[in-house]
Amino acid sequence: MALWGNNDAKGSGGTVSLDYATLTVTGTGTTFGQVGAAATGDVIRFGTRTGTYYGDAVIVGIASTTQLSIASTSGLSGSTISGVQFDISELPKYTTWDSVYSQKTQSTAETTVVIQTSAAATSGIGSDKVTLVSVVGILTGDILASGSVSKEVSSVSGSIVSLASTIATAIASESSVIVTRASGAKSSSVYGVAEEGAAAAQTTSFALTHEGWVGITTYKDSEGNLRVKTETLVAMSGITTGNTPLYDGNPLA
């Protein structure tokens, strides 16, 4: 069984549901096992990148046009999969066991550290204000944490940070304080990139030097800017694409 192929657009009409306990996928209106459709060794991708995505799994058996079995759920989010769209791909099978690309380990609330500082004075139980040694970069909506305290920042005035609610545990003077900010969801996935897709992305944040199977990780930095990291998994030509979304100038759309 080949470790990968060159087709990222196999037949995937209909919808599917998954029984996590038995690793059985049941389809409605599907054509599993038919020419050009899902086959043993292919990867089934549950959900859509432009909607709810549940992850990838390797197909290890085809029982009928409406039933197949998968090797593992390690690459899936764990959420109920019932009546969802799917794609069939010949992407590298090993990525379904790679934690980088597993939906089970995807971050939905990635944060970045704004500042690490300390308390300039003690804030007692019931207080909603903390005086800090430095407040550089802190904005309303950031999260202030010290010990067991974790509160949203409501405002900053001078060296005093006001919190959205009172604290139940005192923050002693000189205690370590960390302020973080949500920087957007982090997402990693494997894309089949054809020559046309690589060309379309050339002048964008998704620019690549070649086509093939590529791992793409996207996230937002502390300023809200989109960042893209790429990992070449297999450099090859002749990739057939068509799954949603296509890799082009904006594969997230």
Domains of the chain, each with CATH number or no CATH = 7-106+185-241 (no CATH), 110-183 (2.40.30)
> Which residue in the block uniquely carries the two structure tokens 């990838």?
56
pLDDT of the residue at 159:
97
- Contact present, 227 and 195 (Cβ < 8 Å): no
Mean pLDDT of the chain: 91
Comparing C-alpha atoms, which of 46, 20, 32, 42 is closest to residue 102?
Answer: 46
pLDDT of amino acid 242:
85
More confident residue, 242 or 177: 177
**What's the DSSP call for residue 148?**
T
Q: Is the pLDDT of residue 43 over 80?
A: yes
Rg over CA atoms, the chain: 23
For the stretch 52-104, pLDDT in tens is 889 999 999 999 999 999 999 999 999 999 999 999 999 999 999 999 999 98
Position 49 scores a pLDDT of 75
Kindly report the number of other CB atoms within 10 A of residue 209's CB atom: 9
Going by C-beta distance under 8 Å and a sequence separation of 6 or more, which residues neighbour residue 137? 114, 115, 179
Q: What is the pLDDT of residues 193-238, one digit of tens each?
A: 999 999 999 888 899 888 999 999 888 776 777 889 999 999 999 9
Beta-carbon-side half-sphere exposure of residue 179 (alpha carbons within 13 Å): 26
The mean pLDDT value for 30-50 works out to 93
Q: What is the C-alpha end-to-end distance of the chain, expressed in Å? A: 33
Contact 247, 197 (CB under 8 A): yes
58 strand-pairing partners? 43
For 110, residues 6+ apart whose C-beta sits below 8 A from its C-beta are 182, 183, 184, 185, 186, 219, 220
Q: What is the mean pLDDT of the segment spanning 148-176? A: 94
Position 251 scores a pLDDT of 81
Residue 6 above 70 pLDDT? yes
Residue 50 CB neighbour total at 10 angstroms? 11
